[in-house]
Structure 1
Amino acid sequence: MLNLDDWGPVEQLVATIRRRAPQLAASIVPDEETGLRHVRVTYRHDGPLEARWHSACYHYRRGDGLWKALPADAEEAANALAEELGAGTSTTDEPPGTA
């Protein structure tokens, strides 16, 4: 059961990815070394990308590559991750199949 006290930037990013780009696979994964949570994102054969919240914005990287900054806004970060993986995003806030 989800405890609202556990709802932070990582959870917000996953929820936004699932709403804006449901074709992406996004899951929360604990870091084995630090115990902090990050988001693993894949699309078809591309990925995984690792995304995390750090200080004032989201960051992502491929594999062991360098971290690249993403917007602090979860909507904009989700769009940027989808674009990085070559996936489209929903332009509406309505659930799929309701338009």
Structure 2
Amino acid sequence: MNLDREILIARQVAGIIANYVCFLEGADEESLNPDVAVKMMEFLGAELDELDKGFLRHLVDAFPVVAERYDGEARELVRDIPYGFYLEETLAADDPLRLAELEAMRDARG
């Protein structure tokens, strides 16, 4: 697949994931059982961990672009999807130095 097409597809998938995450995070207890929402997020995280690493890199890079479609808290939520799902750590699984760097960044962020 050509690189431009893969990036376009990653942005489309990031948009789908962003809508999914925003819905789950924004749903109240009356419209969605919180336990179900947590299970759905865990399922999404597991699926993301299984993606091809090359595609996952494009997907992670797509979230800041997709976030611009949203306002306020939703924008920050979408921008933080890679952080929330530990996607950079998934990409760095075979690189102990990068993992240590990411851990230090998480510690600094609080």
Instruction: Report the TM-score when normalising by structure 2.
Output: 0.25
Which structure has more relative contact order (CA 8 Å, sep 6+)? It is: 2
Question: Would you tell me which structure has more helix in proportion to its own residues?
Answer: 2
Instruction: Report the TM-score when normalising by structure 1.
Output: 0.27
Question: Would you tell me which structure has more strand in proportion to its own residues?
Answer: 1
* Higher-Rg member (1/2): 2
